Amino acid sequence: MDAVPCGIDENSGKSFAGEILGTDGAHKKQREMLCQEYVLKTDRVMYRIRPRDEKHPVLLPVGERAEFRIKKDKLLLAVPELDGKEREYSVTSMQMINADPAHNVSERAAK
């Protein structure tokens, strides 16, 4: 799991009394938000995924087997060792895995 930047959280710092009296300035506190990002590997594709539930993301065990399926625009992932419950994830990137580069070259030459 990696923690990756996924936005900025702003807090104006204004109070109700300060707004009424006009003493509050327009100072804004900003901090960078971090989101969980996981790498999910299959035989052919490596997916980078983030939980869709940003407020209460479940911490997944690293290195365990997982079952997933893709439904419309989301990836549904279940980890049997955790609790087996399906959770929704967004796919941020997909990359093909070259398992055996020499095998791929010989396949192309044979065609």
How much is the pLDDT for 106?
Answer: 46
Going by pLDDT thresholds of 50, 70 and 90, the confidence category of residue 49 is very high
For residues 89-103, average pLDDT: 82
- Give buried/exposed letters for 70-98 (b at 16+ CB in 10 A, else e): eeeeebebebeeeeeeebebeeeeeeeee
For residues 35-39, average pLDDT: 92
- Angstrom distance (rounded) from CA 25 to CA 3: 33
How much is the pLDDT for 37?
Answer: 94
How much of the chain, in percent, has pLDDT values that exceed 70? 71
pTM: 0.68
For every residue of 16-53, DSSP letters joined together read HHHHHHT------EEEEEEEEEEEEE-SSEEEEEEES-
Domain chopping of the chain, boundaries: 2-110
Please give the DSSP secondary-structure letter assigned to residue 1.
-
